[in-house]
Structure 1
Amino acid sequence: MLKKYDQNARRILKFPAVHPCQDVNPATLLRSLITLSNSITNYQSKYFATQRKNARESIRQITILNILFVAIMENDDVSGLPDTALLCFSELHHTLQKILFLIEDCTRDGARVWLLMKSHFVATQFMTLIRSVATALDILPLNLIKVSLEIKELVELVAKQAGKAKIEVDHDDDHAMKRVLLILNQFENRFEPDSIMIKRVLYYLRINSWSDCHNEIRFLDDEICSESLDNNERDLCLLSTLAGFMRYCRGVLFENCVIEHSDNPITERPNLEILSCLNPEDFRCPISLELMTDPVTVSTGQTYDRVSIQKWLKSGNLICPKTGEKLATTELVPNINLRKVIHQYCIDHGITMSKFQKQSRDISSTILPGSPASAAAIKFLSDYLVRRLRNGTEKQKSRAAYEIRLLAKSNIYNRFCLIGAGAIPPLLSLLSSSDSTIQENAIAGLLKLSKHSNGKKMIINYNGLNSIVNVVKNGLKQEAKQIAAATVFYLSSVQTNQKLIGEIPDAIPALIELIKTGTSCGKKNSLAALFGILVYPRNHETAISSGIIPLLSNLISTSERPEIVTDSLGVLATLAESFDGSNNIFNNSCLPLVIKTLQTSPSRAAKEYSVSILLALCNNLGNEVVAALANNANLIGFLYTLSTSGGTQAGKKARTLIRIMHRYHETSSSGLRANWDSSRTATVHSC
């Protein structure tokens, strides 16, 4: 009877109540009303940061109605209730659901500052619902219901009070709300507010710790995502402003509080499968640095994701973000060919496009600040954190690095502000700290900032590569090593950086060592970083001499984690593109392993990497490899299957291999083995 809703699924200040069906059993209806009213009265002991008077009045009235419902249920026969009573109870059931939702929201963890700013709306909801109770009670025939006179008098009093109730914004709430508006106005005018004024507001809302503030930010961020989908610009602006304000409070006012690492930032694992076929930059939007799900081209010929460039243009920017040229027109031309390539690639590799559309939408919404006040708050905070990094105590430096880690986690504008404030040089200096926590927070902050194009440039300009590689090699904790490996991956997405990383003697050997000794996450990050570095062919020699091929072979044959097998194959496929790589792969007896993987792996990406390796070996080494493939009776069948049911790239490579093998059989049977090499070369070039 009483429908249950997931508190985390229901949007705040949304009340999905339902009317009971017309033929509901009276006893069932009353039991459900008792359950509802009990749930509401249980909130008597809860803390209400705002709407205290309105909530207390609502709970008081429902408590009296609960007495009525229980008294009626205690009668032996509830089936004899008149129809008007059942209609009243049905309407009350609908209203009580909404009251319960509203009271839940008023006590929701993390929503205090938002509910304060929505005080007028919430007070209106209380008034509407209390009046609905009065309207329902107007049709209740108390004279026909068998309950005591005292209960009837109480219900009549509730009906009278509900009809005349004066529900309004509490004076203290109104005063606190005006203070917040004043603070936000000061931020908007680029004036840093007085900390005492801010503390008074936070004290009123009982936001007394770093964790309290962090909970507010998490709630506001979730609401921003939801409002972005609904295109509610008014609420979105206020939410963004409050999120910036609360981030400022968390970083500046609560730096001495104990941090509860309840959601410690997860070490990021770069998605190798997304970036492995083309140049790592090919599928990324230059603005958001994420996968382009709807690529469009502007008048300068540059391509961006539609959501990102629309946000850029909407803010009044009329220049090309990448080239700086003035746009002749704001028309966006769909890049259909690139969209097809990206879409097909996702299909080929079993990647859900909607997942990346949501991620792209989420990150793209942070290119610009949600409001001028939010922009100023983040800039003030960034300057403060950088000052702490440079001049603070060891504890303050660690806390500042952790705040930067959180601040830059999934917000492009925040990264831009932190980089502009000069966060990268002091973070690089902290990498040599003897404190493992400081080192981990510093490298994690650099990881987030390395996702921004300006961050990559600044890390290189301040000679940060050596420091980051040193953490990969000598990091005090495994977490720091694997985060450093992920940072190397993001830096390697710039072509010129691939050469610079390869020139550091310890870079490739350190990543290979982390694959041997690191955690599963460390292995993944190192494989991704090596893939990025090995896109530059001259780095192959160092990797090969460091023993990467036997290591990859061992991972492919023994790892129980499919993603590590796939990533290892991806790196092996990159090495196979060079002659030395192919020669070492063949000499290390990897050919049977690659063929077996092609035949047995359920992963489409693993199959494509396998066929890429086989084709590269044929192209680079010739007869010996082709003969081994041609003499494998089962292989041709798998290649035929892959040529028809595999993705575009996998199918094309499989068909090329089939032609090479057919040509080999033809020349072998006709005794023209001497002409084999030229025939094979012609076949490859024709593809």
Structure 2
Amino acid sequence: MTHYTFSDRRFLSFPAINPCSAVSPAALLADLSTLAADIDVIGRRQTGNFRTHRRAAREALRYATIILAFLDDLGPFSTALTRSALLGLSDLHVTLQKLRLLLADCARVGARIWILLNADRIAGEFRVLLRSVSIALEFIPLDSVDISAEIKDLVRLLAGQARRVEVGVERVDELAGRSVRSMLKQFQSGESPDPYDLRRVLNHLKITSWIDCFAEVAFLEEEIFAEERNGEAALLWSSMGLMVYSLVVLFDKTANGKSRKIEECFCRQESSVTIEKLNADDLRCPISLELMKDPVTVSTGQTYDRSSILRWLKSGNQTCPVTGEVLASADLIPNSIIRQLISLYCHENGILTAQQGKARKRDLSKTLSPASPAAVGAIRMASTVLVGKLATGESEKKNMASYEIRMLSKSNIFNRICLVEAGAVRWLLSVLSSSSDSTLQDNAIAALLNLSKHHSGRTDIFEAGGLPPVVQVMRFGHKVESQKNAAAVLFYLSAMEACREAIGEIPEAIPSLVQLLKNGTYRAKKNGIVTIYSLLLFSGNQAKILAADTVAVIADLLESEEDEEDLVTDCVGVLAKIAERPDGTNEILKSCVLSNLVHVLRSSSSSSGKEYCVSALLSICKNGGDKAMSLLEKMPLLMPSLYSLLSDGSRQTSKKARSLLNCIHQFNDQRYSPVLAFHEPIVHAL
């Protein structure tokens, strides 16, 4: 038998697979022993993580220990097992699968408040599963099995206890749950809870540091994204609101070294400096020694490529390949941080990778409107506290507040709205203008980037005079990451028509964007080029963009970054926009970028890229006259590419390709046909 993994299962769901009816008794016993050992390992290694349902967890772990001893004794007699015994063992196999998942969920770091608020449901799951152990054991005729009398007595005792077991919510958990619900009502009515009461509940759950609290926020947000039926949305939002408030009011992320180290882990995925220093071997699968495509983490904390570790497990191995420890669970947890690190590393080093494993898609619209009034109250209060820290705190407090705004606004629209309404933009801009601290600057510009993704944030940045300080960070930011994020802020701001003109009026803005195209990282170049495209939507910016030598820089990019299709597509999009006007066409003809456009047209697999190329070439033909046509005529690969688009391109692309072909044919006809006298009649050949 093999280990079945349910890496995509929802939290507190317990899928299980019935053993095949043809499975051999020896294989069934071996797999049962593995399941019981898994449960035993969870108990020994994660005892401290069971902050609720402790009695039920202890019972489950005691059952697993006795069952493991029973199975060890039973092993040598597997061939003598009756059909009834095999049925009982098969039922026990299903029960232990579910029990292992339940215990793993109860011990999961980050899920403690959610476990507490679902205490009744979880107690019911424990009750059903522990009683199922009794039912399964009663199928096994112990008198017909030649095992020690002591083990038989233990199994009979266990079956009897399991049949009568009463599992409910423990008194201390019940009181903590009542306190939480009382606090949620306070948030709903616009009152803040007593910090002492809040800390008492969190201490019960052993949520005692900034990182413990942030783990709760991150887990609850993931559950909101995964929620499909909306049946739990209100409680999820309420819980997250409570933890966001706790994070901001009760904890200091710099209070201890552990929090600081974990903060660095969270920041690492966004730091190009770290990427440059990163050892590529850290991103390789320890089994295949290749860069991981779909990194997953096993119970020992080691990360492997999914396909490699699955092959390892399916081969019958039950240990971690690196540490040699027995795996407490066969579950594979997707490691999104490592995935993003690999993606960034590949971009920065020009490495092409195959399509990576599917990641869970986030629908940010789920975070637009909280499903509970308690969450609204809690998040608004937390936002006010954060802005207060920005306004009045010392440098370290401002850095902490900027970082928390950055993290809380990263993927939550409602958080962005509340922070903007609380006045965060004004104070973040003040930090940019006054601080020389590189970390504070990095956190502040990243926070502004997240807030600029909402229209109210863009409006606030513009109206507060935020363009000059953002441009200054793009030019002189202490970190490459800060410069890249500043360019991204300008991109979102340029969605506003008034902003496009205002950005163009800042003398350093456009040259700084072009400088990013020359010397920036992949992401900086990407942010720079899309911002330039957006600025071109205001016609008054074209001359300034041409004066900054943008076309020549793009020509270099099309050669040096030809393998980066997204970036190439954006570059030809800018050229297509520039070519719409005669001055842009003249600049393109002077820069000798035509051959690059034809190469992209022929080689690109992007439909958008092909359409941009045809649009650019068509505008160049119309605006460039005979000079442009003569240059195109000397490119033999152009015509076959255009003809292929007539049948393979989109409707719009085909239409433009046909127009371009007509222009070329008309030019050739005029050039090579005999010159006809004015009003001379044309005689068609028969």
Normalised by the length of structure 2, the TM-score is 0.82
Structure 2 letter corresponding to 1:34: S
Q: Please list the CA deviations of residues 598-647 of structure 1 after superposition, one character each: whole Å capped at 9, or x if unmatched.
A: 22334333322221111111111222212332454442221010122122
User: Matched residues in 1 for 2:87 and 2:604: separation?
Assistant: 63
Seen in structure 2, the aligned counterparts of structure 1 residues 52 and 598 have a Cα distance that, compared at 3 Å, is same
Q: CA 1:615–1:157 in structure 2 vs 1: closer, same or farther (change >3 Å)?
A: same
Q: In the alignment, what sits opposite 2:84?
A: 84
Which of residues 230, 233, 240 in structure 2 aligns to 1:232?
Answer: 230
Q: 2:666 aligns with which of 663, 675, 686?
A: 663
Structure 2 Cα separation of the partners of residues 604 and 20 of structure 1: 49
Q: Which residue of 1 aligns with 2:517?
A: 515
* 4+ long deviations beyond 6 Å: none
Amino acid corresponding to residue 400 of structure 1 in structure 2: A
Residue 608 of structure 1 pairs with residue 611 of structure 2:
yes
Change (3 A) 1:507 1:267: farther
Query: Which residue number in structure 1 is paired with residue 28 of structure 2?
Result: 29
Change in Cα spacing, 1:184 to 1:160, as seen in structure 2 (3 Å) is: same
5+ residue gaps in structure 1?
Answer: 270-351, 676-687
Deviation at 1:595, TM superposition (A): 2.0
User: Does the residue aligned with 2:206 lie in a helix, a strand or coil?
Assistant: coil
- Once the 2 structures are TM-superposed, how far is the Cα of residue 671 of structure 1 from its aligned partner? 4.2
What is the aligned partner in structure 2 of residue 161 from structure 1?
A: 161
CA–CA distance in structure 1, aligned partners of residues 635 and 148 of structure 2: 93
Distance 1:522 1:93, change over 3 A: same
Aligned residue in 2 for 1:477: 479
Q: What's the counterpart of residue 373 of structure 1?
A: 374
Structure 1 residues 674 and 541, CA gap change in structure 2 (3 angstroms): farther
659-668 vs 461-470, which deviates more?
Answer: 659-668
- What code does the residue aligned with 1:669 have? Y
* 1:443-482 correspondence runs (5 A): 443-482=445-484
Q: Partner of 1:89: helix, strand, or coil?
A: helix
The 5 Å alignment of 1:355-366 reads 359=362, 362-366=363-367
**% identity of equivalent residues:** 40
Match in the other structure for 2:549: 547
**Alignment-mate amino acid for residue 168 of structure 2:** E
- Residue 470 of structure 2 contacts residue 486 of structure 2 at CA under 8 Å; is this kept in 1? yes
Q: 1:183 offset after TM fit, Å?
A: 1.1
Contact 1:439 1:480 in 2 (8 A): yes
- Cα pair 1:537 1:578 within 8 Å, conserved: no
Q: Secondary structure at the match of 1:110?
A: coil
Inter-partner Cα distance in structure 2 for 1:366 and 1:550: 43
Report the CA distance between 1:547 and its aligned residue: 1.2
1:407 match = 408
Aligned partners of 2:588, 2:160: CA distance in 1, in Å? 87
Aligned partner of 1:429 in structure 2 is 430
Q: Is the 8 A contact 1:265 1:406 kept in 2?
A: no
Cα distance per residue 1:6-64 (max 9 Å; x no partner): 4x422111111122122221111111111111111222322211110001012112211
Shift of 1:394: 0.4
In 2, Cα distance between equivalents of 1:5 and 1:210: 32
Kindly provide the CA deviation profile for residues 521-551 of structure 1, in whole angstroms up to 9, marking residues without a partner as x.
Answer: 1111111111111121211111111111111
Contact 1:26 1:86 survives alignment (8 Å): yes
Q: How does 1:36-435 map to 2 (within 5 A)?
A: 36-45=35-44, 46=46, 47=48, 48-73=50-75, 75=76, 77-227=77-227, 229=228, 231-233=229-231, 235-255=232-252, 256-257=254-255, 258-259=259-260, 260-261=262-263, 262-264=265-267, 359=362, 362-432=363-433, 433-435=435-437
CA contact 2:595–2:635 (8 Å) conserved in 1? no
Matched residue of 1:193: which SS? coil
Cα distance per residue 1:91-146 (max 9 Å; x no partner): 11111111111111111121111111111111111111111111122232111110
SS at 1:543 equivalent: helix
Asked whether the equivalents of residues 267 and 483 of structure 1 are also in contact (C-alpha less than 8 Å), the reply is no
Partners of 1:484 and 1:674 in 2: how far apart?
63
Question: Structure 2 CA distance, aligned partners of 1:651 and 1:267?
Answer: 41
CA pair 364-673 structure 1, distance change in 2 beyond 3 A: farther
- Deviation of residue 670 (structure 1)? 3.1
Name the structure 2 match of 1:11.
10
Summarize the Cα distance change of 1:632–1:23 in structure 2 as closer, same or farther, 3 Å threshold: closer
Q: Secondary structure at the match of 2:94?
A: helix
Q: Is the 8 A contact 2:572 2:609 kept in 1?
A: yes
Cα deviation code 1:284-320 (max 9, x no counterpart): xxxxxxxxxxxxxxxxxxxxxxxxxxxxxxxxxxxxx
- Cα deviation code 1:427-460 (max 9, x no counterpart): 1111121001111111111111111111111111
Q: Tell whether the 8 Å contact from 1:268 to 1:486 is kept in structure 2 after alignment.
A: no
Matched residue type, 1:605: S
- Measured against aligned partners, the alpha-carbon deviations of 1:369-418 in whole angstroms (never above 9, x if no partner) come to 22100001110011001111110010010111111111211222111111
Give deviations 1:550-580, integer Å, cap 9, x for gaps.
1111111222433332222222222111211
Check whether the contact 1:643–1:651 (CA below 8 A) recurs between aligned residues.
yes
- C-alpha separation in 2, matches of 1:115 and 1:452: 33
Q: C-alpha separation between the residues in 2 aligned to 1:68 and 1:599?
A: 69
> Does the 8 Å contact 1:630/1:664 carry over to 2?
no
User: What secondary structure does 2:191 align onto?
Assistant: coil
The correspondence of residues 508-587 of structure 1 with structure 2, limited to 5 A, is 508-559=510-561, 560-587=563-590
AA aligned to 2:98 is: K
User: 1:604, 1:646 within 8 Å by CA — same for their partners in 2?
Assistant: yes
Q: Is the 8 A contact 2:546 2:584 kept in 1?
A: yes
Aligned partner (choices 488, 493, 496) of residue 490 of structure 2: 488
State how far apart, in whole Å, the 2-side matches of 1:125 and 1:596 are: 62
Q: 2:491, 2:534 within 8 Å by CA — same for their partners in 1? A: yes
Structure 2: distance between partners of 1:630 and 1:78: 82
Aligned counterparts of 1:356 and 1:420: Cα–Cα separation in 2: 33
Contact residue 389 and residue 398 of structure 2 kept, 8 A: yes
- Pairwise CA distance, 1:649: 2.6
Conserved? CA contact 2:224–2:366, under 8 Å: no
1:653 aligns with 2:656: yes
Residues 510 and 632 of structure 1, relative CA distance in 2, 3 Å threshold: closer
Q: Secondary structure at the match of 1:665?
A: helix
SS in 1 for 2:571: helix
In the other structure, the counterpart of 1:621 is: 624
Q: TM-score w.r.t. structure 1 length?
A: 0.82
Equivalent-residue separation in structure 2 for 1:542 and 1:245 (angstroms): 50
Cα distance in 2 for partners of 1:155, 1:187 equals 50
Give SS of 2:108's match.
coil
Q: Show structure 2 runs of 5+ residues with no match.
A: 273-354, 679-686
What does residue 497 of structure 1 align with?
Answer: 499
Contact 2:487 2:524 survives alignment (8 Å): yes
Question: 1:268 offset after TM fit, Å?
Answer: 12
Secondary structure at the counterpart of residue 266 of structure 2: coil
Distance in 2, matches of 1:183 and 1:356, equals 35
> 1:356, CA displacement in angstroms?
13
Instruction: Give CA deviations for 1:445-503 in whole Å, capped at 9, x if unaligned.
Output: 11111111111111111111111111111111111111000000000011221111111
Code of the aligned partner of 2:14: F
